Every structure is written in C-alpha cells, then in structure tokens.
A and B are shown apart, each in its own frame.
Chain A
Amino acid sequence: DTEVTQTPKHLVMGMTNKKSLKCEQHMGHRAMYWYKQKAKKPPELMFVYSYEKLSINESVPSRFSPECPNSSLLNLHLHALQPEDSALYLCASSQGLAGKETQYFGPGTRLLVL
C-alpha cells in the first residue's frame, strides 16, 4: 500500500492570489517532502518535514511556506507567486529519513501562475 494523495490536481492562480496545495499519506510514514519539477527536468527538493522538524532548501523563496498539521498531512501555502513558479509540485513520503528509505510520490499538482 503506497498511497500519497494530493489536491488539487490542477491549479491556475494569479500573482496576487493565495492558495494551498494539500498532501496526505496513509502509510504511517514519518517523513514528508515537497518537490518542484519543471518541464523536462528532474524533481528538485523544496522541503522535508520529519519528526516535527522542517528542513528547507535555502534556494526556495519565502512565497512558498509549508505547514504540517499532523504527521500524515503536509500543506504548501502559496502567496504572491511568479509565472516562473509554474510547475508540477510533487509530494512524497518515506518511512524515515537517513537517506535509505524509499520515497513514495503522489500524483502531483500542476500549477499555472498567470
């Protein structure tokens, strides 16, 4: 059972909007991740949340802010995005950290910023 769900599947927003992406996993995993993937590129790690600790890729701008309401949910709040933020946003989870655990990915949210 490797299920990670993401909503919405598609999102179109203006540069002044505030929106949120949601991710939920039902596997009892203790680590969750947000990735950004531009067309024809590999995924890039944005955030890791594990053991109530958030790790941030320092190159991610502050207009992206993660929130972890509980161990199975990870939201990504979006505010004042730019057109270059248009991408596929993937959520993943793993049993633990330390690099050896398999990350299981959700179906992604395709975001278009106008």
Chain B
Amino acid sequence: AQKVTQAQTEISVVEKEDVTLDCVYETRDTTYYLFWYKQPPSGELVFLIRRNSFDEQNEISGRYSWNFQKSTSSFNFTITASQVVDSAVYFCALSEPNFGNEKLTFGTGTRLTIIP
C-alpha cells in the first residue's frame, strides 16, 4: 500500500527566510509519480510539480526547488526568500500507474505561515 507522510503539521517563518517542507513516501512499485500541490485559503489546489520515479534530478523553478532522493524515499520542497503569498497548505502526493487503481494518495499537508 502506498503512503505519504508530511511530519510537519504547521510551520511559521519570517518573510524572506528559506523554508523546507518534508515529504516521505512508501510504495512497493518501482514506477510511481510524486506531486506537490499548494492550497491557499481560497481552497483551490494548485499543481506545482510532478516527478516520476526514474528522474532523480532536482528541479528549480524561481524561488521553488525540489529535492528527490529515492534512497531515503523523500521528495522535499524548499521555498527560498519566502513571501507572504506563499502562506498556504502544501500537500505532497503519490500515485502509481496501476490500471484500475488510479488515485492520488495525499499526505496530511503542511500549513505554512509567512510572517511579514
């Protein structure tokens, strides 16, 4: 069975600080996909990134970066020079390409608050 753990329930940092959100996953499959979504107070889940299990390259997109390490089953998300607009709940999610069992398994989310 697949499982995603986001141990950090809530994080608060002062604006312009860097912050890392942790994500640890469990799966028996060798092929799988990892995602990060942002959910601001408005409620919409905003897609941030998808990574497949065969691509361990880290990725940077502006102030966002992701560190994928298969050896530790982690897919951590770092925000550099945080801004108030980054305040949201962030979900890490896992899916496996098994026909008939297509679903996203979400972690419990990390609530990030950026203090001005």
A interface residues, Cβ below 8 angstroms from B: 2, 31, 40-43, 45, 48, 88, 90, 92, 97-100, 102-108, 110
Please tell me the size bucket of the interface on B: 20 to 34
Q: Answer whether A48 and B45 are a contact pair too, CB < 8 Å, given A98-B97, A99-B97, A100-B52.
A: no
The reply to whether B103 and A45 form a contact with Cβ atoms under 8 Å apart is yes
Which DSSP category, helix, strand, loop or mixed, fits chain B's interface?
loop
Min CB–CB distance B48 → chain A (angstroms): 10
**Among A41, A42, A98, A105: residue with most chain B CB under 10 A:** A42
The reply to whether A97 and B109 form a contact with Cβ atoms under 8 Å apart is no
Residues of B close to A92: CB separation below 8 A: 45
A99 to B99, CA, bound (A): 8
The reply to whether B98 and A99 form a contact with Cβ atoms under 8 Å apart is yes
Residues of A close to B52: CB separation below 8 A: 100
A88 to B63, CA, bound (A): 29
Min CB–CB distance B96 → chain A (angstroms): 5
A88 to B42, CA, bound (A): 11
Within 8 A of A (CB), among B47-100: 47, 50, 52, 91, 95-99
